[in-house]
Structures are given as C-alpha cells and as structure tokens.
Amino acid sequence: MALDSRVLTPAQRYALVLVDLTVGFTDPQRSPLASSADAVVAANAQLLAAFRRRGWPVFFTTVAYDDPAQARVFREKLPVLNVLAADSPLVAIDPRLQPAADEPVLVKFWASAFFGTPLAELIRQSGADGVMVTGLTTSGCVRATAVDALQHDFRVLIPEQAVGDRDAQAHAANLRDLDLKYADVRSLEECLALVG
C-alpha cells in the first residue's frame, strides 16, 4: 500500500548545507572515497552563488579525524575513512567551492552533519526554517543529514543534480525514499527558483 506522501510547503528562508564536498569525496585520482563528481560540484557552485546573492546562510561540512577514539566503530566498519586525517589535504573543501569568511566549515565524525555539531542551532540563529541538503554521498551522509534535518523540524529540499554517489543504484533508491518520507527532491532549476 502506497504512503500518502505530500509536497512540503516551501520554507520562508533556506540554509544551504553542503555535505562533504571535500577533495576526499570529489577527486577520484587522490582518494578511494571519491567518485566522478564534476557535475555535482558544478550544480553546487550555482546554488552557492544564488544563496550568496540572496544573503541566505551557507554551511559546509568535512569529515576529519585527529584521534583514534573518534567514531571508532564507524571507522572499524569502514577503515577507508582513516584516509580522512585532520592534517590530510583530502579534508579540504573542493577548491571550486571555496567557503567565504562567514560560511562555517563544520567538522563531523559521523554521517549526519547534525550529529555532534552545532548545525541545528546555527541554522535556527540564522532565521532559516528550511534546509537545502547537497553534496556527497546520497546514500550515506546526504541521507543522514536530510533525515536529521527533518527531525529538527526543518523543511528539507534536495536538489537532485547537486547530490551524488559512487553507486548509481543506491543514489536512485535513496532519492526515491527520501522524497517519499523525509524531503522534497526537486530539480536544480526548481531549487534555484526558490532562492530567487
């Protein structure tokens, strides 16, 4: 039986949360975690420019470990995460998406951008009632962040072309499920139009 899923009323003000658009996830020549993400980066560049023009809040995340105790079970499950050492160039935001001085880069240890970070409070302080979640990867950190955004009572929007995954099937399945239960998945053009 199909769920009665509805389209959310648009937020009055969105915050843009760019999840893990770091070298470690965007440069497959340098990182085992990365996928071919040029189109995702380009879509995020468009959103970033639109949010900056509108003066709406922008937040970046990166995963960076400087202590073996951080997310130790997660890292046991996925040892490849250990390449994301705090002093590694892989944890830097992709140079095509350089944060402005007033755009925080939040360091996280787990999948969600909200877990163990001040992101929810920072979004509320910015006056936003909605979140556009973008970045990498759809089936992992993007999904966890979108679900947590909803659980913080934000209206969640996912620009389809601004997220990506190493696994095309996981990408498609997770976007379908997110759109059904936790967020509205819309085209980049529709999302840009909401920013104005």
The catalytic residue positions are 141
Provide the β-strand partners of residue 158. 185
**What residues have CB less than 8 Å from 48, skipping those under 6 apart?**
16, 18, 58, 97
The answer to whether residues 154 and 131 touch, using CB atoms and an 8 Å cutoff, is yes
Token pair for 96 = 């095509």
Token pair for 32 = 């085992």
Provide the β-strand partners of residue 138. none
**What residues have CB less than 8 Å from 94, skipping those under 6 apart?**
21, 22, 23, 26, 27, 41
Judging by beta carbons within 10 Å of its beta carbon (0-12, 13-18, 19+), is residue 123 exposed, middle or buried?
Answer: buried
Residue 137 preceded by cis peptide, ω within 30: yes
